[in-house]
């Protein structure tokens, strides 16, 4: 079956060709890693997809999009159904919600943004979490907290009486954090940007998301807010179906 291989790049290409990201994600999910199964399970839709993609290489982008228009409404409806299924499974996964491990945070972020999660992330909800976010955070910290306490006390002791009236230990601790810490934008694991446990890569080693500076942490979206957004969206979808 001549359909795009699954993966991020195919979703990006399909989004352009279909002129719809939800439709592209739905088609990518339906095809999965087994196009033949898609043909067996969805013969009518698969036939439409085959007919649409038969002349991909010989027609311009605008014509490709025009020919895709009959497919898009059905695929977008499938996207809504698949998204709701994933969201319900997530919200019923109490062990994973309690553990709040990074892969769950990445899944939540995708669903909260209205995207479908990868099959591997959904399948992970069917097994018990390996470690909790708290355990991973302790590993990432190393001896950072002890080092911070020692540094703050040393800096405090070095201040004269007048300086102490205008500087608190909390202020010194904040300054230390600004100097030494970075944080993952998705799972919010905190890492060191200076010292023996320094994170020496650009992306988060636990969820592969972007690392941001500690001073930018206020713009990060908490996990609880993302979960509430998913619940709200599910509720709105249920209202629309009544």
Tens digit of each residue's pLDDT (9 = 90 or more) over 30-64: 888 778 888 888 888 888 888 887 766 677 888 88
Residue-range definition of the domain harbouring residue 151: 133-220
Query: Domain check: are 137 and 215 in the same one?
Result: yes
Range ranked top by mean pLDDT from 47-51, 161-165, 203-207, 231-235: 231-235
Question: From residue 113, how far is each of 101, 117, 135, 235 by CA, in Å?
Answer: 19, 10, 27, 16
- What would the mean pLDDT of 117-138 be, rounded to a whole number? 92
Q: Is the pLDDT of residue 3 over 80?
A: no
> Is 242 contained in some domain?
no
Count: domains in the chain: 2
Helices and strands counted in the chain (H then E): 14, 3
Note the pLDDT tens digit of each residue in 15-33.
888 899 999 999 999 888 7
Q: Looking at 62, 78, 94, which one is the last position of a domain?
A: 78
> Is 185 contained in some domain?
yes
- The tokens describing 168, both together, are 């608190």
pLDDT computed for residue 5 by the predictor: 39
Is the separation of the CB atoms in 83 and 116 below 8 Å?
yes
Within 13 A of 35's CA, how many CA atoms are on the CB side? 10
d(CA 182, CA 71): 44
Query: Domain check: are 69 and 138 in the same one?
Result: no
> Is 25 contained in some domain?
yes
Question: Between vectors from CA 233 to CA 232 and to CA 235, what angle results, nearest 5°?
Answer: 65
Note the pLDDT tens digit of each residue in 170-215.
999 999 999 999 999 999 999 988 665 667 667 899 999 999 999 9
Q: Looking at 78, 104, 119, which one is the last position of a domain?
A: 78
How buried is residue 74: exposed, middle or buried, by Cβ count under 10 Å (0-12/13-18/19+)? middle
Is the separation of the CB atoms in 26 and 82 below 8 Å?
yes
Q: Is the pLDDT of residue 6 over 50?
A: no
Query: Domain check: are 138 and 74 in the same one?
Result: no
d(CA 182, CA 159): 27
- What would the mean pLDDT of 135-156 be, rounded to a whole number? 90
> Is 232 contained in some domain?
no
Q: Is the pLDDT of residue 230 over 80?
A: yes
> Is 182 contained in some domain?
yes
> Is 17 contained in some domain?
yes
- What would the mean pLDDT of 133-159 be, rounded to a whole number? 90
Q: Is 182 helix (H, G, I), strand (E, B) or coil?
A: strand
Q: Please provide the average confidence, as pLDDT, over all residues in the chain.
A: 87
pTM (two decimals): 0.83
> Is 147 contained in some domain?
yes
d(CA 11, CA 17): 10
Query: Domain check: are 63 and 140 in the same one?
Result: no
> Is 151 contained in some domain?
yes
| pLDDT higher at 3 or 59 | 59
- What would the mean pLDDT of 91-111 be, rounded to a whole number? 96
């Amino acid at each position: 079956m001549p359909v795009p291989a699954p993966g991020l790049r195919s979703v990006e290409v399909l989004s352009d060709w279909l002129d719809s990201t939800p439709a592209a994600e739905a088609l990518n999910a339906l095809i999965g890693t087994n196009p033949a199964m898609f043909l067996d399970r969805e013969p009518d839709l698969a036939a439409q997809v085959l007919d649409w993609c038969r002349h991909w290489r010989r027609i311009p982008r605008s014509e490709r999009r025009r020919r895709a228009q009959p497919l898009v409404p059905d695929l977008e409806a499938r996207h809504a159904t698949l998204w709701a299924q994933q969201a319900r499974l997530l919200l019923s996964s109490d062990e994973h919600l309690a553990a709040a491990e990074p892969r769950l945070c990445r899944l939540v972020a995708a669903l909260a943004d209205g995207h479908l999660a990868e099959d591997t992330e959904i399948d992970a909800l069917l097994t018990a979490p390996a470690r909790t976010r708290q355990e991973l955070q302790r590993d990432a910290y190393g001896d950072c907290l002890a080092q911070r306490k020692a540094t703050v006390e040393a800096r405090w002791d070095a201040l004269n009486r007048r300086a102490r009236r205008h500087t608190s230990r909390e202020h010194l601790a904040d300054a230390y954090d600004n100097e030494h810490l970075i944080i993952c934008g998705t799972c919010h694991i905190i890492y060191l940007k200076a010292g023996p446990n320094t994170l020496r890569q650009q992306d988060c080693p636990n969820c592969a998301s972007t690392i941001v500076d500690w001073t930018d942490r206020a713009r990060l979206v908490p996990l609880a807010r993302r979960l509430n957004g998913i619940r709200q969206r599910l509720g709105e979808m249920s209202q629309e179906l009544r």
